[in-house]
A and B are shown apart, each in its own frame.
Chain A
Amino acid sequence: MESIFANSKNVFLDTVNAKDYIQLDRVSAIYKSLKDSIAKPLKMVLLFGKPGTGKSMFLSKLYDDLAQECNIYLYETPILDETEFYKVLAQDIFNIQYNDTLNLTQFMKIVKERAVEEVPIVLLDEAQLYSEVLMEKIRLLSDTRCIKFVITLHKTEKEDLIAKEHFQTRIWETFELENASKAELKIYIQKKLMKANCFDTANMFHTKTVNKIYKLTQGNYRDTNKLLYTLFDIYHTYEKNTHFPLSTTHIPNKFIEMAAIHTGLINA
């Protein structure tokens, strides 16, 4: 027999998969305007936010949604080397294989020659890892309006501002993702569990419990995932070791605190 706690635990594995995307009002609103802005003749779209606010999830969802109708490419890990970067794009977008080195001028020529009506969209995750030089070249590329870049940055607030300023001189649009509010966190947790048919455990998250979790994670999705993964791990361990059944009406604070200690959200 399968354990409901083991199933619930796996719901909170920290993975990014468009199929697991959960609609939350605010997130959906941003998602919609992001989608709209892609249709606009903007050169670049910048998506930023602290780690764990769902940027990669967003890109993955965007990719999944548009892959059918658009010319869209997703790069989850940055391609550091400049030549390699152009080569990969040339290969993926224009189906041109290059063996020698490829520089910006050459690549730009290809881009312009091959320009099609439907502008290819390139999604770059973790763009804060690209070098300043390459970033500048990506900007130049997007100025041609023959390729549209959507990039995500995760940095401290300070660096975010610089990054925004970085794009100020161009026509760009920024979207900021934030941690969930208490209400959103509740919806997030419950929807996530219900999606996996874990209705019993979804019902365990009363407002009070969610507030307790919020206090620990500030609504950060990644931290919440980690905490809840451990929480259900604790449940699962108790389930295996004890003979009397565990209550599924509410979650004792003890379990949440133990999970928080284990994940380092509480120092003890």
Chain B
Amino acid sequence: MLNIHDLEKRWRRYKIKSFLPYVIVSIVLFAIVPAVYYFYTTNTKAVPQKKPTAAKKTVPKPMLPPKNKPAAVKAKPAAIQPEPMAVQPKPIAVQPKPVTVQPKTVVIKKTKETSFQTLKPSMNFMKNIQHEVRQPQCRYKKTKQKQFKERKVTEAVQDISVESPAIKKEKKINITIQRKETQNDIYEIIKRFKKSRNPALSLFVAKKYYELGNYKQAYNYALITNQINSNIEASWIVFAKSLMQLHQKNKAIHTLQEYIKVSHSSNAEILLNEIKSGKFK
């Protein structure tokens, strides 16, 4: 059930947070305007004395008693001013995040793909997604355009061919973004798995975790997959490999032996031999 009070509280906090930058900006503005005005007027009044410090010296003069005091007070926040200024861009930067980051990843990824594709003709779309090979861009463009002339993707690809030199610089950013994306992919799939208990999903998660080097989770999800369906070879293999990575060689060997007894799986046998002969890295 919806906890409306809690939600309202969170909303209020969110509102305050999102208004904070504006409040700071307006405070700063309120501080700057009189300060600037003050410096401006005192500077023009004291024309021969160029420096504002010199201008300040003129302040205590009994000449302008009413203007004097508030101006001095206001001058203080002006000195503090750089601080809130530095703070303010942060909260603002938070909001556009989802909008700006995405197009970037799209563009970068596409170039990587298109500029890497010829060496390997096909396949690999589950495993080797990360490091693919080169392919002339035009081929992709043509087929694409034939189908959907108005699609955005084609436009993106065309853009890239012009901008390609700029892309190298951004490669590093690209890597972290991808990692996050796979993480998010995994969470998405875990969510769906929890709903459907489909072993295809948990196996997918196990494999992904293994690729990411999270062997504990890879082990867990392979185990779950095996519990749901004990006939999936790939799952047993991820399971055994994860055990190896977790330094449980004996358990890995035992598991594989048991599985091979039931399934006569040749892939499992190959892995078992690798492990036994120490070839498994």
Contact = CB atoms under 8 A, between A and B. Distances in A.
Interface of A: 51, 77-78, 80-81, 126, 128-129, 131-132, 135-136, 156-159, 161-166, 168-169, 173-176, 178, 218, 230, 233-234, 237-238, 241, 254, 257-258, 261-262, 266, 268
Contacts of B153: 176
B132 to A, nearest CB: 6
Given A173-B147, A257-B11, A262-B7, A136 B123 contact: yes
B11 A237 contact: no
Contacts of A176: 148, 151, 153
Main SS class of interface, B: helix
A132 B125 contact: yes
B170 interface: no
Nearest to A139: B122
A157 B105 contact: yes
Given A161-B109, A266-B14, A129 B204 contact: yes
A257 B126 contact: no
Given A81-B229, A132-B124, A165-B122, 19 more contacts: A78-B198, A80-B229, A129-B200, A131-B234, A132-B127, A135-B125, A135-B126, A157-B110, A159-B129, A161-B113, A161-B114, A162-B113, A166-B123, A174-B147, A233-B2, A237-B2, A261-B14, A262-B7, A268-B13
B139 interface: yes
A80 B4 contact: no
Contacts of A262: 2, 7
Contacts of B196: 77
A234 B5 CA distance: 11
B112 to A, nearest CB: 7
A223 B115 CA distance: 33
A200 B150 CA distance: 36
Contacts of A136: 123
Interface residues of B, number: 53
B201 to A, nearest CB: 7
B255 interface: no
A161 B114 CA distance: 8
Leading 3 A-B pairs by shortest Cβ distance:
A268-B14, A158-B109, A161-B113
A236 B66 CA distance: 60
Given A129-B204, A157-B105, A258 B124 contact: no
Interface in B117-170: 117, 121-127, 129, 132, 135, 139-140, 143, 147-148, 151-153
Given A230-B2, A261-B14, A156 B110 contact: no
B45 interface: no
A115 B4 CA distance: 60
Given A157-B109, A163-B125, A237-B2, A129 B201 contact: yes
B122 A169 contact: yes
Chain A CB within 10 Å — which of B4, B17, B125 has the most? B125
Contacts of A261: 7, 10-11, 14
B121 to A, nearest CB: 6
A156 B126 CA distance: 12
Contact of B178 (A131, A158, A169): A158
Chain A CB within 10 Å — which of B105, B126, B199, B234 has the most? B126
B203 interface: yes
